[in-house]
């Protein structure tokens, strides 16, 4: 191969490399960030805590707990009255035996009532947690779709006030997002969406617990 032929080969190779590079750059520009997967972040703890439905539910639960506590106290006072009344009868008398049977029945009924109320509260609270989670997921999905985001991950603030170093270290290691551009944070938009929808459904008046 003479020098001229060798030079042509080099030029041809260079032209091919340039063409491939140009095509690659064009493909990058055409399928750049806008064509890739867009990711957003949400502070799920903050969403749950600042969701007006959560606040209304917590308030309704406290009112329910107060009603149950008052009823519990009334039942315990009746038991105490029955115990004191029992002391006025001779242990070997028929009236004492009758009162003792009545007291035992009252105690059984009381314990059963406490167990049922506790189970009902747990079951209803669980149902509300699942309902709230479903609403939050729908809100996040709506905001994500509106912003052209395909994937949303959770982020959490580091709670540095914890006294145990092991707890702090566990928080650090369990973090899903170390850094995210503030523009990717959907938390505020999700809260606005959720709270607006909750208000349209009746707000706090729509929350029923223990009824």
| Residue 23 lies inside a defined structural domain of this protein | no
Residue 156: its pLDDT value, please? 84
Vertex 31 angle, CA 27 and 34, to 5°:
155
Torsion angles phi and psi, residue 90, rounded to 5:
-70, 135
| Residue 29 lies inside a defined structural domain of this protein | no
| Residue 27 lies inside a defined structural domain of this protein | no
Residue 28: its pLDDT value, please? 43
Residue 162: its pLDDT value, please? 82
Structural domain tally of the chain?
Answer: 1
Q: Which residues have C-beta within 8 Å of that of residue 54, sequence separation ≥ 6? A: 48, 132
Residue ranges making up the domain that contains 93: 37-206
| Residue 49 lies inside a defined structural domain of this protein | yes
Show the low-confidence residues of the chain (pLDDT under 70).
1-35
Q: How many CA atoms lie within 13 A of 41 on its CB side?
A: 17
pLDDT tens, 142-197? 999 999 999 999 988 888 888 888 888 988 888 888 888 899 999 999 999 999 99
| Residue 7 lies inside a defined structural domain of this protein | no
Residue 178: its pLDDT value, please? 84
Residue 35: its pLDDT value, please? 59
| Residue 19 lies inside a defined structural domain of this protein | no
CATH number for the domain that contains residue 167: 3.30.910.20
| Residue 6 lies inside a defined structural domain of this protein | no
Alpha-carbon torsion angle 189, 192, 195, 199, nearest 10? -140
Residue 105: closest CA among 77, 82, 85: 82
Residue 172: its pLDDT value, please? 87
């Amino acid at each position: 191969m003479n020098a001229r032929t060798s030079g042509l080969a080099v030029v041809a190779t260079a032209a091919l490399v340039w063409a491939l590079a140009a095509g690659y750059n064009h493909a990058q520009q055409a399928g750049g960030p806008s064509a890739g997967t867009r990711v957003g972040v949400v502070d799920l703890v903050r969403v749950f805590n600042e969701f007006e439905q959560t606040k209304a539910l917590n308030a309704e639960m406290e009112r329910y707990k107060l009603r149950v506590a008052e009823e519990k106290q009334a039942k315990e006072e009746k038991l105490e009255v029955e115990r004191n009344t029992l002391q006025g009868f001779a242990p070997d008398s028929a009236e004492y035996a009758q009162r003792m049977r009545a007291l035992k029945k009252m105690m059984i009924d009381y314990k059963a009532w406490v167990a049922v109320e506790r189970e009902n509260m747990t079951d209803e609270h669980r149902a509300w947690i699942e309902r709230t989670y479903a609403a939050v997921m729908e809100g996040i999905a709506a905001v994500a779709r509106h912003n052209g985001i395909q994937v949303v991950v959770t982020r959490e603030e580091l709670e540095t006030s914890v006294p145990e170093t092991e707890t702090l270290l566990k928080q650090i290691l369990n973090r899903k997002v170390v850094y995210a551009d503030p523009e990717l944070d959907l938390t505020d938009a999700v809260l606005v969406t959720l709270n607006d929808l909750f208000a349209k459904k009746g707000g706090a008046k729509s929350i029923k617990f223990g009824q």
